[in-house]
């Protein structure tokens, strides 16, 4: 069977967005056109690739396999195009790196320090974005690299793209309500005062999007601009906090328990844009090296 590259891009977008409508919009396709392409793809594959429901679509096991291999094919194509197109990149154009609140805490700064020192002729611009926005910008050629979130509902990322565990946990004082708890659902967490990031922070927006419209209304006693302050407030007993596990220093006086929600199991992965050029491979390698170091605050 011969696969159309546009169909592969569309299928990956549909899986990432959880919606045929949203996936089609990313590729500027109408819903009828996107739906027809997905149906034709399933017909030629001879197997259902998506489970359709009232809230969107999810990939079947066959769909997960297709999304993974499609990603490899498209990544190879990007590298092929970049081998030539990268040399036409205007001299002095800075690399653009996108990441969410969590990787901006430790991973990205560590990689930037080592990369910029080693490459004085290359400039880098970093921007904080939600993973969905980063994926869209990378596909549109607006950025070079992105550190994005893959959760347990996504197609498994390639081993070489994995950077670090980014699972969400609940933290609070050791003598508080978390004592002796191994896991809590968010409705249980929301029964207590909370602290968190600002409403517009990528982590906050992603969290609320996953909870949906039926999520319990939580009382936030304080909101901060960075995860370090959020953890400080939780340790002081101001309120419970939901944060990525790797930002919590195990030496601190904090109780930590799992957030028992499917979307809480997350992995940071590296994704390339559609316009690779000089310096991109090197920055990617520095991000991988930074991810291999202990990411907890010191």
pLDDT in tens, 217-226: 888 999 998 8
Helix H segments across the chain?
Answer: 5-17, 20-26, 31-45, 61-85, 107-118, 131-139, 186-189, 202-211, 227-235, 280-292
- In a 3-state reduction of DSSP, which class is residue 59? strand
- Which CATH number describes the domain made up of 90-163+266-292? 3.40.190.10
- Domains 90-163+266-292 and 168-264 belong to one CATH topology: yes
Nearest to 227 by CA among 111, 127, 105, 110: 105
CB 129 within 8 A of CB 137: yes
Contact 95, 144 (CB under 8 A): yes
Q: Are 239 and 232 in contact (CB under 8 A)?
A: no
**Domain covering 168-264 in this structure, CATH number:** 3.40.190.10
pTM, to two decimals: 0.60
Average pLDDT, integer, range 288-293: 87
Whether 297 has a pLDDT exceeding 50, the answer reads no
Q: For residue range 85-133, what is the model confidence (pLDDT) as tens digits?
A: 555 555 567 899 999 888 887 889 999 999 999 998 889 999 988 888 8
Confidence (pLDDT) at 75 = 82
Average pLDDT score over residue span 228-250: 90
Nearest one of 164, 131, 113, 100 to 295, comparing CA atoms: 164
pLDDT at 82: 62
How far is residue 43's CA from residue 250's CA, in Å, rounded to a whole number? 51
Domain map of the chain by residue range? 5-71, 90-163+266-292, 168-264
pLDDT value of position 237: 92
pLDDT-based confidence at residue 298 (cuts at 50, 70, 90)? very low
- pLDDT band of residue 160 (cuts 50, 70, 90) is confident
Q: What is the CATH number of domain 5-71?
A: 1.10.10.10
pLDDT of residue 279: 86
């Amino acid at each position: 069977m011969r696969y159309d590259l546009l169909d592969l891009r569309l299928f990956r977008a549909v899986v990432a967005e959880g919606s045929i409508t949203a996936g089609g919009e990313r590729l500027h396709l109408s819903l009828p056109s996107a739906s027809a392409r997905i149906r034709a793809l399933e017909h030629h594959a001879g197997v259902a690739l998506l489970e359709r429901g009232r809230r969107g679509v999810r990939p079947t096991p066959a769909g997960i396999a297709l999304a993974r291999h499609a990603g490899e094919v498209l990544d190879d194509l990007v590298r092929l195009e970049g081998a030539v197109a990268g040399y036409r990149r205007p001299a002095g154009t800075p690399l653009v790196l996108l990441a969410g609140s969590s990787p901006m805490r430790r991973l990205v700064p560590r990689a930037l320090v080592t990369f910029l020192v080693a490459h004085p002729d290359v400039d880098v611009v970093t921007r904080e974005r939600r993973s969905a926005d980063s994926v869209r910008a990378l596909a549109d050629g607006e950025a070079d690299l992105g550190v994005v979130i893959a959760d347990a509902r996504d197609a498994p990322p390639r081993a070489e793209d994995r950077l670090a565990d980014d699972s969400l946990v609940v933290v609070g004082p050791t003598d508080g309500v978390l004592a002796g708890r191994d896991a809590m659902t968010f409705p249980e967490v929301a029964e207590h005062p909370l602290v968190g990031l600002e409403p517009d922070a990528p982590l906050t927006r992603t969290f609320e999007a996953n909870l949906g419209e039926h999520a319990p209304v939580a009382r936030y006693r304080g909101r901060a601009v960075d995860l370090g302050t959020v953890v400080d407030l939780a340790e002081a007993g101001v309120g419970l906090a939901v944060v990525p596990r790797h930002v919590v220093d195990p030496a601190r006086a904090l109780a930590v328990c799992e957030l028992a929600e499917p979307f809480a199991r997350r992995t940071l992965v590296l994704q390339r844009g559609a316009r690779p050029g000089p310096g991109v491979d090197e920055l990617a390698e520095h991000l991988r090296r930074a991810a291999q170091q202990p990411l907890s605050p010191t």
